[in-house]
A and B are shown apart, each in its own frame.
Chain A
Amino acid sequence: MTRQMRTERLASEDEASALLADGMTIAIGEPAPMAMVRAMIRRGLRDLTVIASGLHLDMLIAAGCVRKTISYYAGGGFGVAVAPAFRRAAERGDIEVWECEEGILTSGLEAAAKGLPFLPWRGGVGTSLPEVNPDLKIMRDPLRGETLIAVPAIRPDVALLHAARADVYGNVVHCGGPGWLDLFLQRAAQRSIVQVEKIIPNEAVRADPWATTIARADVVVRMPYGAHPYYSRGHYVQDSALLQDYVRAAEQDGAALAHFLNRYCREPISHGDYLELIGIKRLLALYEY
Chain B
Amino acid sequence: MALDCSISELLACFLARDLNDGEELQVGIALPIPEAAVRLAHLMHGPNMELIFLGARMNVHHLDRVPLPAFGWDNRVVRWSESFSDRGHRFDQVKDWHKRVFFIGGIQVDPFGNTNLIGVGQDFKRLKFRGPGSVGTPTLTTHVGRYYIVLNSHTPRLFVPKCDFVSTVGWGQGGADARTRLGLPGGGPKYCVTPLCIMDFSEDEKRLRLRSLHPGVQLEEVLRQTGFPLIVPDVIPTTELPSPEALQVLRERVDWVGALR
Chain A residues engaging chain B, CB cutoff 8 angstroms? 31, 53, 71-77, 81-83, 86-87, 90-93, 97, 99-104, 106, 121-129, 131-132, 146-147, 176-180, 231, 233, 237-238, 288
Contacts and interface: CB of A to CB of B under 8 A. Distances in A.
Nearest to A184: B89
Contact of B75 (A31, A121, A127): A31
A126 B130 contact: no
Nearest to B115: A127
A145 B128 CA distance: 38
Of residues A102, A127, A128, which shows the largest number of chain B Cβ atoms within 10 Å of its Cβ? A127
B172 A103 contact: no
B41 to A, nearest CB: 25
B189 interface: no
Interface of B: 29-30, 54-55, 72-76, 78, 84-87, 89-91, 94, 116, 118-119, 124-140, 142-143, 163, 165-169, 172, 182-185
Contacts of B139: 101-104, 121-124
27 contacts: A73-B133, A74-B132, A75-B29, A75-B132, A77-B30, A81-B30, A82-B130, A82-B132, A90-B119, A90-B130, A91-B128, A91-B130, A93-B125, A102-B136, A102-B139, A122-B139, A122-B183, A123-B139, A126-B182, A127-B167, A132-B165, A146-B183, A176-B78, A177-B84, A180-B55, A180-B86, A237-B74
Contacts, number: 148
A128 B183 contact: no
A210 to B, nearest CB: 12
B90 A102 contact: yes
B138 A87 contact: no
Contact of B131 (A82, A93, A126): A82
Contact of A106 (B74, B90, B127, B142): B90
B162 to A, nearest CB: 11
A123 B124 contact: no
Given A93-B126, A128-B167, A123 B140 contact: yes
Contacts of B78: 176-177, 233
Contacts of A82: 130-132
A239 to B, nearest CB: 12
Contacts of B129: 87, 91
Of residues B75, B84, B89, B116, which shows the largest number of chain A Cβ atoms within 10 Å of its Cβ? B75
